[in-house]
Amino acid sequence: MEKEKRTKLYHHLKKWLEKAALDYNMIDEGDRVLVGVSGGSDSLALLDLLNTPMIFLPSFSLVAVNIDLGYDASYDDYETLKNYLEQRGHDYVMEKTDIGPLVHSDWARKNPCFLCSKLRRKRIIEIAEEKGCNKIAYAHHKDDIIETLLLNLFYAREISTMVPRQPVFRGKFNIIRPLAYIREGLIKKYAKEEGFPVIENQCPTAKVSRRMYIKKLLDELEKDNKDIRENIFKAMTYVKLDYLLKSGFKQEDRQESSKRDRAIIS
C-alpha cells in the first residue's frame, strides 16, 4: 500500500531504478515479473520499489518468489516473511527445499556457491513458467556488478560481469536487475528506513566466500581512493578493445606459461 509521504531516499532510488529499466529496456507493457525474494534487505527493497507507481515505465504485474534453502532458520522467520507478503497483497510462492544442506555436503563441498546458484535458478525458471512470468527480477545492485567483474577476473580468468538485462532460453525469459545503478549502502539504508522484516542470511559460506573477500578488498582500497568502486563501474562502459590481448593464446599455453612463471619466481 502506497504511503502518504515518501522520503528523499525513496524518490532517489525510484529515479535510478526507472533509469536502469529504461536504459536496458527491462520492462514492457503487460509483463509479468517474478521477483526473487530471499528475505534480505536488497530483495525486499526491490519488491517494495517495483510495487509502487511508476512514472516512466509501462504497467506490469508481480509475483514474489522465496526459495527457502533449508538451513536451520527459525519458523518465525518464515512466518514473518509470509505475513509480510500477505499484508502487502502480493501474489507469492514460498517453497522449502534442501538445497543448502545438499550443496554443503561432501557431494558438492568444493564449489557450494556455484551449485546453490544453479539449483535456485533452475527452480525459479520452473516457477516463472508455472506462473506465466516472462521476466525474472533479481536484487543484484551496483556493488554486486562491480564485485562480479573482479571475481571473474581473479578466479575465472575472464573479463565479464552480471548484465542488467539478460535473455535466457532463447529469449523465452529475461533476467533483469533493476537495482543495477544503485549502491548497496543506500538499499540497506532504505530497508532500515522502511522497517522491512529482514531475514539474516543463514548460509555458512556467506561470510567466508570469495565474494566477501572481494568486498573486503574493495573496502580497503576505498580507504585510499573513495571513488574506487565508481571508477571500476564506469570502466566497464569504457572498454578499449585495441588495448586488450588477442584471444589466440590457447588455454593449455596459458596454463603452461603460468606454471613456468611460478617456478621461476619461486
Domains of the chain: 8-265 (3.40.50.620)
- For residues 251 and 111, which has the higher predicted lDDT (pLDDT)? 111
Segment 158-186, tens digit of pLDDT: 999 999 999 999 999 999 999 999 999 99
Mean pLDDT, all residues of the chain: 89
Q: How far apart are the first and last CA of the chain?
A: 63
The predicted structure's pLDDT at residue 114: 77
Question: Distance (Å, rounded) from C-alpha 151 to C-alpha 253?
Answer: 22
Question: Between 158 and 119, where is the model more confident?
Answer: 158
- Counting other chains too, the contacts that 156-162 makes at CB distance below 8 Å and 24 or more residues apart are 157/254, 159/244, 161/236
CB-count burial class (<10 Å; 0-12, 13-18, 19+) for 89:
exposed
pTM, rounded to two decimals: 0.89
Grid cell of 124 as nine digits: 525459479
Mean pLDDT, to the nearest integer, of 133-147?
98
Per-residue pLDDT at 123: 92
Q: Is pLDDT at 264 greater than 80 in this prediction?
A: no
Q: 166 by DSSP, 3-state: which? A: strand
* Type of residue numbered 193: E
How does residue 109 score in pLDDT terms, banded at 50, 70 and 90?
Answer: low
Residues 57-81 have a mean pLDDT of: 85
pLDDT recorded at residue 260: 65
Output the pLDDT for position 221.
Answer: 97
Whether residue 87 has pLDDT greater than 50: yes
